[in-house]
Copies of this chain bind each other. A is one copy, B any other.
Amino acid sequence: MATLPADLTDMAGVAIKEATKHGKMIATAESCTGGLISSCLTAAAGSSTAFLCGFVTYANEAKTRLLGVPVDAISEFGAVSDIVAAAMAEGALAHSGADMAVAVTGVAGPGGGTADKPVGLVFLSLAETGEDAVVKRYVFAGTRDDVRRSTVGAALELILSRLREFDDEKNDEKTEA
């Protein structure tokens, strides 16, 4: 049996192909998923054409040290917040030289949930050179493992949907031409 679920590695494989086609190098910045997104992106051979590097910034100290997330942002908004997710994605971009970075921070559980920030709350951010970072908020159900797995799926979906916009842009250009 494969080490990682086939539905995730299949999606990651498509993302790598799409990114390669559009000449985009990807970086990741992961907190609660702990490297699962980069594991999936590198599952297939040849992923070095589009995957540059990943930061697994599990501890808050690492978010600041490796990605330059401001200490104030973490203390004011919390590590699991839209602000920190965007700062992680932008930091991954700035510290890697990639074209596109996806970042994730969330409460995977089973502990650590509050009324404001329940277990399953996850912020995903996508940053690109020359663009403002986009942030999406999710609340996933299930166990710690379920939350991590759903987060990986959502992150890969976010990368893929952005890459497919480049296809559309290219098609639009052709239509206009």
Chain A residues in contact with chain B, CB under 8 A? 1-5, 8, 25, 28, 30, 32-39, 41-48, 51-59, 61-62, 65-66, 95-97, 108-112, 144-145, 148-149, 152
Q: Is the CB of B45 within 8 A of A66?
A: no
Q: Assess the A45–B110 pair: CB atoms within 8 A.
A: yes
- Residues of the B chain whose Cβ atoms lie less than 8 Å from the Cβ of A61: 52, 97
Q: Distance in Å from the Cβ of A21 to the closest Cβ of chain B?
A: 18
Q: Cβ of B36 and Cβ of A3 under 8 Å apart? A: yes
Contact (Cβ within 8 A) B45 A53: no
In the docked arrangement, what's the CA distance between A109 and B164, Å? 29
**Number of copies of chain A assembled together:** 2
Residues on B with beta carbons closer than 8 Å to the beta carbon of A59: 25, 48, 51-53
Of B44, B51, B56, B109, which one neighbours A55 at CB under 8 angstroms? B56
- With A55-B53, A58-B53 as contacts: A109 and B45 at CB distance below 8 Å: yes
Say which residue of B47, B58, B144 sits within 8 Å of A58 (CB atoms): B47
Taking a contact as CB atoms closer than 8 A, the residue among B39, B109, B112, B145 that contacts A35 in the complex is B39
- Contacting pair B43 A56 (CB below 8 A): no
Closest partner residue, chain B, to A52 (CB atom) = B59
CB distance from A41 to the nearest CB of B (A): 7
Assuming A3-B8, A53-B59, what are 14 further A-B pairs, CB within 8 angstroms? A3-B145, A3-B148, A4-B4, A33-B39, A34-B35, A34-B47, A35-B39, A35-B54, A45-B110, A46-B111, A52-B59, A52-B61, A53-B65, A65-B95
A66 and B96 within 8 A (CB)? yes
With A3-B145, A58-B53, A145-B3 as contacts: A34 and B39 at CB distance below 8 Å: yes
- The answer to whether A95 touches B110 (Cβ under 8 A) is no
